Every structure is written in structure tokens, then in C-alpha cells.
Amino acid sequence: MTNESLVTRPLPKRFITAAIRHPAVVPLGAVFLAVLVGAVIVAAAGLNPIAAYAAVLEGAFDPRSLDYTVSVWAFTCGMALAAAIPLRMGEFNLGGNGQLVLGGLAAVVVAQLSPLPGVLTALLALIAAALLAGAFGAISAPLATRFRIPIIISTLLLSPVAVAVVSFLVRYPLGQPGAAVAQTERLPDAGHLPSFAGLSYSNLGVLIIIAMMVAFAVVDRRTAVGFEIRVLGANRRFGTYGGVHVGRLTFGAMAAAGAAAGIVGAIIVMSPPYRLIDGALISPGYTFAGLAAALLAGGRPALLPVTAALFAVLQVGGASMERSADVPRQLSDVLQGVVIIVLALRTVLDARRTGRSG
């Protein structure tokens, strides 16, 4: 064999090889595969997959529910942020639920006790939520740097503790006496986030979350700290040799992630029905939809709104699909699961591909 055959390898094949290696291929493929798997499941159940997906889109983009879709998107964005900030430095924050409920708790307590006038009370409640949830998220940093407990483990295991504590407080010391469900008293007016005229779901909270997303994008691209976080995410030893403070940055990133989740929790309780209801922050599944959105975006700030929109549409549209096309909404969870599995597969395939050396 001469080397001519090597040089003149058919162009299409080379083109295809290059195309397959493009970083966008795996995420897009994951979404495509998920949609395909969903279609197969729906068809296997004897239903029309096209009708089901059409119902998802119609439900999500129905002008009457668009307001609701936007609010779900914003909460998903907020929780995506909680996952994406640590993901940028290669860490997984699985403690979003705990951080979320602690934020809700702090906001409720402050809003009820604050003697300050309206706007200041709301601001104070948001700050308290960010501080408490941020402190909780930050616990995992020294656990990782001092005691070598991986962040993915400590966040996952600490989260249910926070959820249980908040649940206890809502049931007993802070609970509304005589109420049918475990919930706190309705917040005084000062603790309500201003809503937009004519909208019942989207309020100032949406703008707060968008502002957080913008702040993340700016820090990521334009600051020394954001650069250092990306360097650590790409190669931790390299960062250490270059003089990056791993411990401090991990602490900051986990605190910021916790604060983002805490603010989402605060926004939820400061919106109608203006109470902290036991389980109500967790049951919509913003945390794991956010995590999936962050993974799908690879933590990139510019992509988060897009991937979060995908899961928000699935969630809102899933409910109306159940009503109009008779397909159970759990299909949304299936799709979310397929996306995560494909993204996890990428890690395995990447590891196989790097069997190259001198």
C-alpha cells in the first residue's frame, strides 16, 4: 500500500469525521434522540406521536399560558444557574433542592419579621435568601478542599437534610395553625414581588433571574475570576500551577450557586400564593430540569436560556399534552432522562477516544 491512498481518502468521509467531532453534535443529538425515543414510546402505546408533540408545543405557546411558561422558564434558568456555575469549574451541584427551600425559608422569615417599608422588605428577603442558601452551598467547598469529600456527594447528601429541616419548620413552629396543608401564613404585602399588569405568573422575579444570568455571562467572559473558574474546569492541576486559588474559587462558586437557588426559592414564596407550602418548591422539578439544562449547555452562559426553554416547554406542554392528546405527562421526564443519559455517554466515549499518545 502506498501513502497515496491515505492522502486521497474520500473527502466526504473526512468531512463527516470533522462534523461528528463538532462540540454541538452530542447535545443536539441527545435532544433529537430523546424526541425519537419519546415518539417510539407514544407510538408503542398506540397513540399518535406527532399529535402528542403538537400538543406539547400548543400547550406551551398558547397565548393564555405563555405567561406561565415564561415563569417556569425563569425558574428553570435560575436552577440551571445553580448547576452551571460549579459545572464551569468541573463540579456538580446536586444540592439544588436544599438550597432552594432554604432560600424560601429565609425569605418568608425575613418578610414576616421585617419592619421596613415595601421595597426594602422584599430586597432584604431576597438578600437573606441568597445569604442562607449561599452559606449552605458553600459548606461543600471546605468539605472538598479540606476533607476530600467530593462536592457531588456532599451536596447530594446535605440537600435532604435541609429539605427535612424546612419541612419540619413549616409544619410546626412556622406553620399556619388550623390549615389543611403544611404552610406558613400569607406574607404581608411588603413581601410580595410586584407583578406585571395583566400577568398572573410572571413578575419582577423573572427580571431578577434574567439579571443573574447576565451577571453570570459577564463574570464568565470578562473577569479574571470567571477565567480562572474555566481554567480549573479545563485542568485543575494546570490552574494550581498557574497560581489559581482553588479553595477560594470553589467556595465562591458554591456560594454563588447556592445563592442563585436561594433567590429562586425566595421568588417562588414571594409570588402568589405568597406562602411557603411544604413540598411546593421541590415538586415542580425545577432543580433537575435546571441541572439537565446546565449539562446540555455544558455550563455555557449563552446557551443556558435556550436549553432551559427546552425543558420549560416540555414541562408546561406536557401537562396540556396529557389533557388534549391523552399522553401521560411523565413522557416529559422520560425525555429529560434520555437527554441526561446521552450526555453521560459522551463522557465515556470521550475517554475512549483519548487513547492517543506519542
* Residue ranges that bind other proteins, judged by CB under 8 A: 1-3, 5-6, 9, 21, 221-228, 230-231, 234-235, 237-245, 355-358
Question: Is 9 or 171 the residue whose CB approaches other proteins more closely?
Answer: 9
Q: Which is nearer to other proteins, 16 or 234 (CB)?
A: 234
Rank residues 200 and 240 by Cβ distance to other proteins and give the closer one: 240
Select 64 or 237, whichever has its Cβ closest to other proteins: 237
In the bound complex, what is the minimum distance in angstroms from residue 293's beta carbon to other proteins?
21
Bridge partners, residue 277, by sequence:
183
Q: Give the C-alpha separation, 276 to 258, whole Å.
A: 18
In the complex with other proteins, the residue whose CB is nearer, 253 or 266, is 253
Report the alpha-carbon distance of residue 328 to residue 197 in Å, rounded: 34
The backbone torsions φ and ψ at residue 277, rounded to the nearest 5 degrees and listed phi first, read -100, 130
Residue 90 burial by Cβ neighbours in a 10 Å radius (0-12, 13-18, 19+)? middle
Rounded Cα–Cα distance for residues 85 and 26 (Å): 21
Angle, alpha carbons 144-149-153 (nearest 5°): 110
The least distance separating other proteins from the CB of residue 217, rounded to whole angstroms, comes to: 13
CA distance 265 to 95: 13
DSSP 147-195: H---HHHHHHHHHHHHHHHHHHHHHTTTBPTT-SSSBBPPPPGGGSPPB
Nearer to other proteins, 256 or 270 (CB): 256
Cβ-based neighbours of 214, under 8 Å, separated by 6 or more: none
CB contact at 8 A, 84 and 299: yes
Nearer residue to other proteins within complex by CB, 46 or 243: 243
Closest CB to other proteins among residues 90, 279: 90
How far apart are alpha carbons 61 and 37 in whole angstroms? 23
How far, in Å, CA of 146 to CA of 141, rounded? 8
Nearer to other proteins, 200 or 223 (CB): 223
Q: For residues 352 and 116, give the distance between their C-alpha atoms in angstroms, rounded to a whole number.
A: 59
Q: How far is the CB of 145 from other proteins (least distance, A)?
A: 13
Across-strand partners of 203?
195
Host H or E run for residue 47 = none
Shortest reach from residue 6's CB to other proteins, in Å: 5
Residue 159: CA atoms inside 13 Å, Cβ hemisphere, count? 21
Q: From the CB of residue 240, how many other CB atoms can be counted at a distance below 10 Å?
A: 13
CB of 23: closest distance to other proteins in angstroms? Answer: 10
CB of 22 to other proteins, least distance (A): 12
